[in-house]
Amino acid sequence: MVSIRDRFPIFKSKIYMNSCSQGALSIDVQDAYANYLRDWDEKGAPWEYWGQQNEAARHAFAGLVNAEPNEVAVTTSLSAGVSALASALDFSGERNKVVISDFEFPTVAQIWHAQEARGAKVVHVPAAGNIIPLSRFADAIDEQTLIVSISHVCFRNGTMLDIQAIIEMAHAKGALVLVDSYQALGTTPIDVKKLKVDFLAGGVLKYLLASAGLAYLYVRKELLADLKPTAMGWFSQANIFAMDIYANTPHPTARRFESGTPPVPNTYAAVAGIKLVQQVGVENIERQLKVLTGALKEGIMKRGFNLMSPVDPAKHGAMITVRSHKVDLLTKWLANDGIIVSHRDDNLRISPHFYNDLHDVDCVIDGLSKYRELMV
């Protein structure tokens, strides 16, 4: 029987700790792409069947976050989903404020700043080192706030925001909340109903183990009727195959946030990747990651390196970061040794997943020690 780790061929030759950039390639996803090519070859252009694959991807994500399938839009990227959402919001009234944190991924912040031309007032919540105190959100969110847009886990340093508290804070002021959960999906249980979040976006590229080109936008069903995006396409329509060029008739569900022809090959991969995550179990993954990230933090601090992620396990996600004054060179030298990590700013990003073990952690810590001159 093939073990879970053995389903990822890269471990035959590498120590892979870069899931925050791209999940390791599994034989399941390889097979999914082969199935797509086979279907294309054998069936020609089976659009009805490919539509079913798109629905399978929608249902897979909905099951992962406890959403209803009709609350999920299948998009080509998180950028596409958030852009469609932004286009549906009205910034012309007194409630025109967008509150974002300084931990946001560029695409989300840039989309909100683009709305300034439509009347949006964008306010940043500043960080205090590697955290953002809740009091700073409380100071920023008021009765003029239309939406609060926050990253679940910061891509720069791995810090996890207290999204439950921020959602409650925003709702108390009558504001909507969007959570960018790209760096958290697949590493910790997420229940959109328990969170009472209005919108949640993410993609399959990272810890959901698929590839670039497919993402999701969850929209709370009670909000759908009043949101009419102008960033859209023919797959956003109530009747896709009506081919109506004389009207825009949005689908009554979250599909109104979709755009053009879906990325069919990616739907195959997405279903395969999410099935792997669900096979292992997100709760089990979270427990394993706490062990691995705990060992990483301990090793980093014992060797005298500068940990840039919070020490408290409740305040960081699956990514652990460490300072290097020549981080691009360090990343390259580690890769030459078969240790695959990544970096942002001056932080080396080490991001395990369920396929990693403590031996991998030891290899990474030893690699950092080997290149100590780049660390301190």
Tell me what pLDDT residue 376 has: 73
Mean pLDDT taken over the chain: 96
Alpha helix stretches (DSSP H) within 5-159 = 27-43, 47-65, 78-87, 106-114, 134-140
Domains observed in the chain: 5-25+281-374 (3.90.1150.10), 29-277 (3.40.640.10)
Are 17 and 351 a contacting pair, CB within 8 Å?
yes
Answer whether residue 2 shows pLDDT above 70.
Answer: no
Q: Count of CB atoms within 10 A of residue 326's CB?
A: 14
Q: What percent of the chain has pLDDT over 90?
A: 95
Give per-residue pLDDT as tens, 107-150.
999 999 999 999 999 999 999 999 999 999 999 999 999 999 99
pLDDT band at 3, cuts 50/70/90?
Answer: confident
- Return the pLDDT at 46: 79
CB distance 263 to 233 below 8 Å: no
pLDDT digits (tens, 9 = 90+) for 46-60: 778 888 999 999 999
Q: For the chain, what is the largest distance between any 2 Cα atoms, rounded to a whole number of angstroms?
A: 67
* pTM reported for the whole predicted model: 0.96
pLDDT at 51: 85
The encoded tokens of residue 321 equal 């970061």
**Secondary structure (H, E, C), 196-257:** CCCEEEEECCCCCCCCCCCEEEEECHHHHHHCCCCCCCHHHECCHHHCCCCCCCECCCHHHH
pLDDT in tens, 191-249: 999 999 999 999 999 999 999 999 999 999 999 999 999 999 999 999 988 989 999 99
